[in-house]
Amino acid sequence: MAEDVFKKLVAHCKEYGFVFQSSEIYDGLGAVYDYGQNGVELKNNIKKYWWDSMVMLNENIVGIDSAIFMHPTIWKASGHVDAFNDPLIDNKDSKKRYRADVLIEEQLAKIEEKINKEVEKAAKRFGDAFDEAQFRSTNARVLEHQEKWDALHNRFAKALNDGNLEELRQIIVDEEIVCPISGTRNWTEVRQFNLMFSTEMGSTSDGALKIYLRPETAQGIFVNYLNVQKTGRMKLPFGIAQIGKAFRNEIVARQFIFRMREFEQMEMQFFVKPGTELDWFEKWKTTRMSWHQSLGFGAENYRFHVHEKLAHYANAAVDVEYKFPFGFKEVEGIHSRTDFDLSQHQQYSGKKIQYFDTEKNESYVPFVVETSIGVDRMFLQVLSASYKEEEVSDASGQKDTRVVLSLPPQLAPVKMAVMPLVKKDGLPEKAREIIDDLKFDFNCMYDEKDSIGKRYRRMDAIGTPFCVTVDHQTLEDNTVTIRYRDTMEQDRVEISKLRAIIAEAVSMKSLFAKLK
Ligand code: ATP
């Protein structure tokens, strides 16, 4: 059912110019996508919401835009050349390749699902008297599943932490996990696969340099730490934010724009005094969760997921997960990265990368708390939350379904559509006059084709919060009907009031005001 909604959402993205498959006329390129005329606007609005919440609202956070190409030693220092790997396993019958860790995570999710079903059933049975905590801690079936989950989870976490590939395979065998395509358990060994793309800079005759396409934007921030700290005269704690493309040669590239080989990240590295990093980690967890929840998609659709395995650089890490139609999945990572990256760059570059603390009168390498979110995953979160099919009845009482994107108005690609009721009598000219007046403030669209009803539906489908109709009365008294996307109600208002009505709804101020 939920999967059906997801399929429809993917089709909708194409039909209404949000997302196209890359190189489609050549049959596409795996896990690479292009954003269309509406997609790019939505994406830009998401980026603006993030950027302003970081750089504009915080005196001590500044932005940069570093190059994608960087010196190859950076990736040696960061550990990516040696350790940016995924454990892979192939099914010998279907010849399909999977991430071993993902197969086991899905198995864990299945057990969790069983527990949740028991809880749901009991909740229905007991009604108001239901005590969920008590049920979870006493019901025999739940306890049995929970014990299984704990045992598998512990074994999995240990195998990951030990980098024990044989044990990962053994878990898959013992859990009797089958390939969803062939249905068999005929698995190969588990191998490590590096996710970085590489290319060459310069011609081979003068000794080309092997360089990598960055798999994260963070390293561009670390190697500019000194530049920004000195030129901006930044004092700890302070942050550097960046939005940019990242590239990973993902093996299991499914689920549309959830996992892409070329994607965009919004990352902020927050530099702090050693010893204060875990307090800042908690603070950024709260702030980032409130950034997501301000959009109004329902607090119950978010949760934190604590990592089974800490990356080589981290001393604490958590994911913000959103409930997509295909289940709870990561949209953002918050990591306490210690002084690992700056210390490594200090060592590999031979340059001193330290902060002089005037209070303590000593120099040290700052610690870092990072927030890292994928623009594309955020885009998918926004669309998943906003895509709705509604039963409505038209003016004559006839039933119909409308597809509406109930996007937060602040993120909607088009803020207002202006429609002349008919294509004559000076109505189109009047409609254009309204657009000419408002187009400096908002993204407006003119539409005169088809019936008003059809035009409304087209605007609902791309999430336009306001439709303004110009009719004969407009020419007499300068009033228009304004129709609200979500309620479909209409009001008659003066043209001179439109700017204020729209500004109030689409200004990001109301989102920022809710941030913690
Ligand atoms: P996953 O476990 O899903 O592979 P990750 O833990 O490797 O993700 P991070 O390295 O923490 O991800 O990257 C930070 C964010 O970048 C993720 O939360 C996600 O939003 C985004 N991201 C990472 N990889 C991809 C990808 N292949 N396609 C789209 N977004 C991605």
> Which DSSP string do the residues of 398-463 spell out, in sequence order?
-EEEEEEE---TTT-S-SEEEEESSS-TTHHHHHHHHHHHHTTTS-EEE--SS-HHHHHHHHHHHT
317 Ramachandran zone, left/alpha/beta (phi>0; psi -120 to 50): beta
Residues of the chain with pLDDT under 70: 1, 204-205, 253, 308, 395
Rg (CA), the chain: 26
Orientation angle between helical segments 498-506 and 427-438, nearest 10 degrees: 50
377 close to ligand 1 (CB < 6 Angstrom): yes
Tokens 């504009």 sit at which residue? Answer: 56
DSSP-derived 3-state class of residue 188: coil
What per-residue confidence (pLDDT) applies to 253?
67
Separation of 176 CA from ligand 1 center, angstroms? 28
331 lines ligand 1 (CB under 6 A): yes
CB 217 less than 6 A from any atom of ligand 1? no
Whether ligand 1 lies within 6 angstroms of the CB of 244 is answered as no
Query: 324 alpha carbon to ligand 1 midpoint, in Å?
Result: 15
3-state SS string for 250-267: CCCCCCHHHCCCEEEEEE
| Distance of alpha carbon 51 from alpha carbon 2, whole angstroms | 32
Q: Is the CB of 333 under 6 A from ligand 1?
A: yes
Does residue 317 line the site of ligand 1, with CB under 6 A? no
Predicted local confidence at residue 424, as pLDDT: 95
HSE of 131 in the Cβ direction (CA atoms, 13 Å)? 6
Q: Is the CB of 337 under 6 A from ligand 1?
A: no
Pocket-testing residue among 377, 379, 380, ligand 1, by greatest number of atoms within 8 A of Cβ:
377
User: For residue 250, which atom of ligand 1 is closest to its CA?
Assistant: 27
Which DSSP helix (H) or strand (E) runs through 61?
strand 61-63
Give me the pLDDT at residue 162, please.
Answer: 86
Domains parsed from the chain with CATH numbers: 39-69+213-389 (3.30.930.10), 87-193 (no CATH), 407-512 (3.40.50.800)
- Quote the ligand 1 centre to 374 CA distance (angstroms): 6
State how far the Cα of 107 lies from the Cα of 51, in Å rounded to an integer: 37
**484 phi/psi in degrees, rounded to 5:** -90, 130
Q: Which residue has the tokens 């000593």?
A: 362
What is the model's pLDDT at position 1? 56
Q: What is the pLDDT of residue 203?
A: 75
Per DSSP, helices labelled H in 78-164 are 80-83, 100-126, 132-138, 140-162
> Which residues, at least 6 apart from 50, have a Cβ–Cβ distance to it below 8 Å?
243, 266, 291, 373, 375, 378
Q: Whose CA is nearest to atom 4 of ligand 1?
A: 259
The protein residue with its alpha carbon nearest to ligand 1, atom 25, reads 259
Is the CB of 260 inside a 6 Å radius of any atom of ligand 1? yes
Phi and psi torsions of 76, nearest 5°: -75, -50
Distance between CA atoms of 305 and 81, rounded to whole angstroms? 27
- pLDDT score of 205: 66
Any atom of ligand 1 within 6 Å of the Cβ of 214 = no
Ligand 1 pocket mutation, candidates 263, 288, 382, criterion most atoms within 8 A of CB: 263
- Confidence (pLDDT) at 298: 97
pLDDT at 204: 67
265 lines ligand 1 (CB under 6 A): yes
Question: How many angstroms separate the alpha carbon of residue 184 from the centre of ligand 1?
Answer: 29
**Distance from residue 214's CA to the centre of ligand 1 (Å):** 13
- Considering only CA atoms, which residue is closest to atom 12 of ligand 1? 333
